[in-house]
Amino acid sequence: MKVGTRVRATRQIVEDDQAPDPKAAPCMPGWVHAKEGDEGQVSFVEPLGNVSAYPDEENQNTLAVTVVFDQTKTATLVLEGEVVELD
């Protein structure tokens, strides 16, 4: 996956992996970045081991992908399996 790739969410993606909160402001815990099926665009990619939130060595070869979702216009780090590339 690379910057500019169009993707689709495979599940609901919520800030801090919390329960969805309809009163949450953008990027606060509970904010829903995407619902299953929402589309977006990859804006940043780097090895997961370099991301301060996930510094463990076992993820050195896994990519951390940041996606800006069309519906909410917010960006979030997504993990493997949370999005799929569109054809």
pLDDT tens, position by position, 20-46 = 898 998 888 899 999 999 999 999 998
User: Is 60's pLDDT higher than 80?
Assistant: no
User: Is 53's pLDDT higher than 60?
Assistant: no
pTM of the model: 0.78
* Mean pLDDT, residues 43-65: 66
**Predicted local confidence at residue 50, as pLDDT:** 55
Please give, one letter per residue, the 3-state secondary structure of the chain: CCCCCEEEECCCEEHHHCCCCCCCCCCCCCCEEECCCCEEEEEEEEEHHHCCCCCCHHHCCCEEEEEEECCCCCEEEECCCCEEECC
What pLDDT band is residue 81 in, cutting at 50, 70 and 90? confident
- How is the chain split into domains, by residue range? 6-85
